[in-house]
Amino acid sequence: MNLKELYQELILEHGKNPRNLGKTDDFNKDARGHNPLCGDNVHIYLKLNGQRIVEDISFEGSGCAISMASASIMTDLIKGKNEHEAKEIVEDFLGMIKENPELKSENLDEDEKTKLMCLSGVKQYPMRVKCATLSWHTLVSAFDNKNEEVNTEN
């Protein structure tokens, strides 16, 4: 199976059956994001412990399959990581979208790296990149306690 086929399979699977969908109990950080071009909306909920490890993460939202699948994959990859590791994974993903295929994060196993590489295949569809990156930018906003909605057009 080539990368394009893996990308399509991953988007379909996570788009139809999103992981970590719903509001996390006892969250202590959250942020909202909006993509006005596609109509995607996402609300990320984080539960960090005292060591800044993501004990739980979930999302609510509506949008296209790419947006929902990306949020689902992101929550799977981030759960159990500390804030620094999570932000490094976000940097890797956003870098891969911008044609930098090198992964800096050493905090992903091979399966997780494959998922991240497959998801970065969205760069072949420029009109869909903002759909895929919305939840990732919103996650950073939640970590940073920004009290403003993330907007893909700002």
Residue 29, pLDDT > 70, answer yes
- The mean pLDDT value for 114-121 works out to 86
The model's pTM: 0.93
DSSP per-residue string spanning 88-117:
HHHHHHHHHHTT------SS--HHHHHHHH
How far apart CA 47 and CA 64 sit, in angstroms, is 26
Q: What is the pLDDT of residue 7?
A: 79
Q: Identify the band that residue 106 occupies on the pLDDT scale cut at 50, 70 and 90.
A: confident
All structural domains of the chain: 3-144 (3.90.1010.10)
pLDDT tens digits, one per residue of 44-93: 999 999 999 999 999 999 999 999 999 999 999 999 999 999 999 999 99
Residue 1, pLDDT > 80, answer no
Residue predicted with more confidence, 31 or 120:
31
**Residues 154/38, Cβ–Cβ less than 8 Å:** no
